[in-house]
Amino acid sequence: MLKVPSFTQPAVSSDPSEGAWSRTSKLWSSLKELCSLVGIAVEIDLEEVAFQHMQFKAGQRIFTIGQPFDMLYVVYSGFLKTVLIDEQGHEQVLAFPMKGDVLGIDGIHGKRYATEVVALTTCEVLILPFKTLTALGKSDYALEAAFHSVMCRELVREQNMVATLSALQAEARIARFLVQLSERFSALGYSASRFTLRMTRSDIGSYLGLTLETVSRTLSAMDAAGLIAVDIRTLVIKDLEALRTLRRLRPQRSGNEHASLRAQAASS
């Protein structure tokens, strides 16, 4: 129903989440390619280092919770979800990684993966043996710094997620979610206003701390309000600015401002 013309794309496929599908495509990437993929500026290019690619079909897991940690992964193409499984076996969606995102960072502490990552579409990922990375980091300061930076980017994202969950209500959470997706697609060179939701309503609900029914209802309401047009997995953003400003925050009576005021007075 919604065909994206392929001539706008730098990649093989016409859709961001269908990268390498029926072909073997590229099997190895250089360090330089890796760096440009994750968005860090390092200009060293050791020819002897190469990272292997690996393919996954929708539904397959890149790694599972509890599995011994030894690799990081970088998404080359496709769309995935990161989930945490609690003691009762309930699935909690933590993120929807896509091209350029790093997977498995949570395994560094504790030597086992704390989450698991499931492919939502056919995916291609780069495999980064952690030992190789640390060895490279030792020999190159800039690379080590970039590595730290990427790890922290994840932390900042997660913090913003907590803020979103804590302070916003359903409509605003979903609005923010859509804006976030739009911006990420846009950054990868795809349309910011038309894209496919590769995850289920249940996944979105889990991610945003809502039920799938609330997600469905809210999307319908936004459609009715003319902010978006949604047809199952196909989404068109019709008023991005309205979605951006739709953050009906709780009044959140600001508690103890006195403390800060006292502090400023004390320190000056």
Partner DNA sequence: CGTTAGCTTGAATACCTTCAAAGTAGGTGG
Partner DNA sequence: CCACCTACTTTGAAGGTATTCAAGCTAACG
> Is the CB of 194 or the CB of 217 nearer to DNA?
217
CB 133 within 8 A of CB 34: no
The one of a copy of itself, DNA, none whose footprint includes residue 13, by CB under 5 to 8 A per kind, is: none
Q: Does 150 bind DNA (CB under 7 A)?
A: no
Question: CA-to-CA distance for 208 and 162, rounded, in angstroms?
Answer: 10
The one of DNA, a copy of itself, none whose footprint includes residue 239, by CB under 5 to 8 A per kind, is: none
CB 111 within 8 A of CB 69: yes
Q: Which of residues 29-68 bind a copy of itself (CB under 8 A)?
A: 57-61
Q: Where are the beta strands (DSSP E) in 24-122?
A: 28-30, 50-56, 61-63, 71-77, 80-85, 91-95, 102-103, 116-119
> Is the CB of 11 or the CB of 71 nearer to a copy of itself?
71
Look at strands 116-119 and 80-85 and give their pairing: antiparallel
Contact with DNA (CB under 7 A): which of 5, 10, 89, 255?
A: 255
Q: Does 110 bind a copy of itself (CB under 8 A)?
A: yes
Contact with DNA (CB under 7 A): which of 158, 183, 213, 241?
A: 213
Contact with DNA (CB under 7 A): which of 3, 47, 141, 259?
A: 259
Q: Does 10 bind a copy of itself (CB under 8 A)?
A: no
Q: Which of residues 209-268 bind a copy of itself (CB under 8 A)?
A: 209, 211-212, 249-250, 252-256, 258-263, 266-267
Question: CA angle, corner 27, sides to 24 and 28, nearest 5?
Answer: 165
Q: Where are the beta strands (DSSP E) in 130-268?
A: 194-196, 228-231, 234-237
CB 85 within 8 A of CB 92: yes
Task: Write each residue from 158 to 197 as x if it is in contact with DNA (CB under 7 A), else as -, in one continuous string.
Answer: -----------xxx-------------------------x
Output the smallest distance, CB 39 to a copy of itself, in A: 11
For residue 268, CA distances in Å to 42, 257, 265 come to 42, 17, 5
Question: CA-to-CA distance for 43 and 34, rounded, in angstroms?
Answer: 11
Which residues, in sequence order, are CB contacts of 60 under 8 Å at separation 6+? 118, 119
> Is the CB of 191 or the CB of 200 nearer to DNA?
200
The one of a copy of itself, DNA, none whose footprint includes residue 214, by CB under 5 to 8 A per kind, is: DNA
Residues in contact with DNA by the rule CB under 7 A: 169-171, 197, 200-202, 209-217, 219-220, 230-233, 250-252, 255-259
